[in-house]
């Protein structure tokens, strides 16, 4: 069973400003999240931030942060995508 992946309004707004190559990586991450779920150990610098919050690097400069909204019905939300310097962790 796959996961439903939502992107917050702020993250969607920031995603529009990503360079094309990074945007392509972000889209692949979204597909992986939907298919596999919140644990993404194959992505660079992936880590669990808190109980239900995770992050990984899309490349050296850009990261994505997501959290589990509901484990029962399998919903995730990407809360941040952008520069690692501004990342909320």
Please state the separation of Cα 8 from the chain's center in Å: 11
Q: At a CB cut-off of 8 Å and minimum separation 6, what does 12 contact? A: none
Q: What is the CATH number of the domain that holds 73?
A: 3.30.2310.20
Domain presence at residue 34: yes
CB 12 within 8 A of CB 84: no
CB 34 within 8 A of CB 4: yes
Give this prediction's pTM: 0.93
Domain presence at residue 89: no
- Strand pairing class (75-83; 62-70): antiparallel
- Which pLDDT tens digit goes with each residue over 25-72? 999 999 999 999 999 999 989 999 999 999 999 999 999 999 999 999
Query: Residue 80 — φ and ψ, nearest 5°?
Result: -155, 140
Domain count, the chain: 1
Classify residue 84 by its DSSP letter.
Answer: G
């Amino acid at each position: 069973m796959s996961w439903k992946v939502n992107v917050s309004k702020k993250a969607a707004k920031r995603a529009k400003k990503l360079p094309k190559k990074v945007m392509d990586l972000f889209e692949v991450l979204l597909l992986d999240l939907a298919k596999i779920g919140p644990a993404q150990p194959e992505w660079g610098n992936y880590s669990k931030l808190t109980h239900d919050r995770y992050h990984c690097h899309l490349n050296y400069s850009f990261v994505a942060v997501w959290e589990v909204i509901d484990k029962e019905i399998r919903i995730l939300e990407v809360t941040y995508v952008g520069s690692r310097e501004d990342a909320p962790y």
